[in-house]
Amino acid sequence: MVRETAPSLKLVAYERVSTARQGRSGLGLEAQRKAIDAFAAERAATVLARFTEVESGGRNDRPELKQALDLARLTGATLVIAKLDRLSRNAAFLLTLQGSGVRFLACDMPEANDLTVGIMALVAQQEREAISRRTKEALAAAKARGVKLGNPNGAAALRRAGEGGEALRAVVCQNADEFAVALAPVLATIRDEGHCSLRAIANQLNARAMMTRRGGRWHVSSVRNLLMRLREFKEMANEKVLSVVS
């Protein structure tokens, strides 16, 4: 009698780095691959393919994730990621994973399942809503202190009306203050995730598709200017944000 052997577990590996520079340098990527390879070896699994997502501020569709999920569906394989906890605040990723219908495994949380991911997605969504609520509360507190946040006329209206000089500069300054206060909770989250240098903060803001007040990408200089402005609102800005730069 010939004993049938159990079929090998088939895996499709999905790896993620935050910037093109990180992707080229391999920072973080090598650790993910080691974790996935060790995970596969322990289970005598076969890694069919690897997909590496280099996320940037200008793209949110995650084409590598889509390809990984498509291949997993086609081959009946299981999607494997190195660290689910790194993505636990990313509601869009979690909802995509949950709705894909593809089996998945996480090296750091092998017990995770669809219910786990669903709960994480809800928590991530609630956190985003909480950030929005805290921002509104901070703006309300600023207004109660007599800080002017915005102008019903607006800078563009003043330009059209031919009013310039001090009036125009005041409106621009007020709008910049409002923008800085609104970003304070986001900066706190970024720092909590371990991104503390000016360049790292700029990269994270770009990776989250957050533009500067003028609609551009973030750079070291623009992050420095933002943090300097937040210092002027020290009593209502998160102290963890203000301690990013000495």
What is the per-residue pLDDT across 91-119, written as a single tens digit (0 to 9) for each?
677 777 778 888 888 898 887 766 677 67
On average, the pLDDT of the chain sits at 72
Q: How far is 117 from 100, CA to CA, in rounded Å?
A: 12
CA 79 to chain centre: 21
Q: For 55-188, where are the E strands, in sequence order? A: 78-81, 104-106
Q: Which CATH number fits domain 10-119: 3.40.190.10, 3.20.20.70, 3.40.50.300, 3.40.50.1390?
A: 3.40.50.1390
Tokens read off for 127 = 């956190």
pLDDT digits (tens, 9 = 90+) for 151-201: 444 444 434 444 444 443 443 345 666 777 767 777 877 887 788 889 988
* Closest by CA position to 214, among listed 158, 156, 166, 131: 156
Q: How far is 109 from 233, CA to CA, in rounded Å?
A: 40
pTM for the model stands at 0.48
Q: How far is 88 from 174, CA to CA, in rounded Å?
A: 35
Give percent above pLDDT 70 in the chain: 56
Q: Report whether 174 contacts 148 (CB < 8 A).
A: yes
| In the chain, ranges of CATH 3.40.50.1390 domains | 10-119
